[in-house]
Amino acid sequence: MNRNSKLLGIDNRYLPPLLITSILLVGQLSFGLLESFSRTALAIATAMATELILSRLVTGKYANLASAYISGISVGILLRSFDYWPYAVCSALAITSKYVLRWRGRHLWNPTNFSIVAMLILAPDYISTLSIQWGNTVWPMLIIWVLGAIIVWRVNRLHITGTYVVSFIALAFLRHLITGHPFLAEVAPITGPMYQLFIFFMITDPKTTVKPIWGQCLVAFLVAVVEMGLRLEQSIYAPFYALAIVGPIANVIEILWTSRAKVVPAQRVAAMA
């Protein structure tokens, strides 16, 4: 285990679950972030149960549940519905997508991103996403940004978050020029908690991001660009849709590029022989 693998004695793998749990608890106790704990609990329990069952069925082993926990709690926080079933379906869909939407050993979509987008498309009359703020002062937002930044830095993903945030702000200025709407109105969405979950937990997912650092930064930038296009079309859920479009395309390109890079030297070796 290298020097970066633990913080305060806590395995880096468990830092993101700890952060998102803290966000949930602080948000709920301070601001009534959730309508109730029960829906979020259902989302978490469904995600973890689905992960246990599917990993055992498909791989013969029980998977580490940190990933499923994050998926479940993200669904529990991000999703809004009067009903219980969308929380269960969305969580199960997120986990199941990891086992189905795969190509050459990799899953292509961030599971939560895929399931939220699927629900927005398939059940728009039953769900929406988180819209509540963190109070009306800047401090809760700053605390979460600082804590989140420290944690994504510990897991070597800060460059992704940074690239996206800088790109979003720059493109917000461009949107301001195009639409004539106030710059502050264009930049406003990134100050909300939905974006905090998006930039710390979705676009940084190691399993669904490309490998090279420059590639990760490029993908983050492209997500922001596609999001801008969608925003100009007045898509309320532009960031989710943008990641759902750009993420898998980037993964497919990388898979193809990597396999080509392996094939070409092998062909050369064969030709030389």
Site for other proteins in 29-48 (CB under 8 A): 31-32, 35
- Which residues, including other chains, have CB under 8 Å from residue 230's CB and lie 6 or more apart? 238, 241, 242
Rounded to the nearest angstrom, the gap between the alpha carbon of residue 106 and the centroid of all alpha carbons in its chain is 16
8 A C-beta contact, residue 101 and residue 114? yes
Closer to other proteins by CB, 118 or 245: give it. 118
8 A C-beta contact, residue 89 and residue 223? no
User: Given the rule CB under 8 A, which of 2-10, 63-71, 216-224, 254-262 is the region that contacts other proteins?
Assistant: 63-71
Supply the minimum distance, in Å, between the C-beta of residue 253 and other proteins.
20
User: Given the rule CB under 8 A, which of 1-9, 114-122, 240-248, 257-265 is the region that contacts other proteins?
Assistant: 114-122
Instruction: Give yes or no for residue 10 binding other proteins (CB under 8 A).
Output: no
Straight-line distance from the first to the last Cα atom of the chain, in angstroms, rounded to the nearest whole number: 41
Instruction: Give yes or no for residue 99 binding other proteins (CB under 8 A).
Output: yes
Instruction: Give yes or no for residue 22 binding other proteins (CB under 8 A).
Output: no
- Interacting residue with other proteins among 167, 208, 216, 251 (CB under 8 A): 208
Instruction: Give yes or no for residue 259 binding other proteins (CB under 8 A).
Output: no
Site for other proteins in 229-258 (CB under 8 A): 231, 234-236
- Which residues, including other chains, have CB under 8 Å from residue 264's CB and lie 6 or more apart? none
User: Given the rule CB under 8 A, which of 99-107, 163-171, 216-224, 246-254 is the region that contacts other proteins?
Assistant: 99-107
Supply the minimum distance, in Å, between the C-beta of residue 114 and other proteins.
11
Could you count the other beta carbons within 10 Å of the beta carbon of residue 173? 13
Closer to other proteins by CB, 36 or 267: give it. 36
8 A C-beta contact, residue 247 and residue 220? no
Q: How many CA atoms lie within 13 A of 68 on its CB side?
A: 27
Rounded to the nearest angstrom, the gap between the alpha carbon of residue 171 and the centroid of all alpha carbons in its chain is 20
Instruction: Give yes or no for residue 9 binding other proteins (CB under 8 A).
Output: no
Site for other proteins in 124-183 (CB under 8 A): 124-128, 131-133, 135-138, 141, 152, 155, 157, 179, 181-182
Closer to other proteins by CB, 213 or 272: give it. 213
Tokens of 159: 């460059």
Supply the minimum distance, in Å, between the C-beta of residue 192 and other proteins.
4
Closer to other proteins by CB, 59 or 267: give it. 59
Compute the chain's Rg from CA coordinates.
Answer: 19
Closer to other proteins by CB, 64 or 267: give it. 64
8 A C-beta contact, residue 66 and residue 59? no
What are the CA-CA distances from residue 122 to residues 119, 127, 221 (Å)? 5, 10, 28
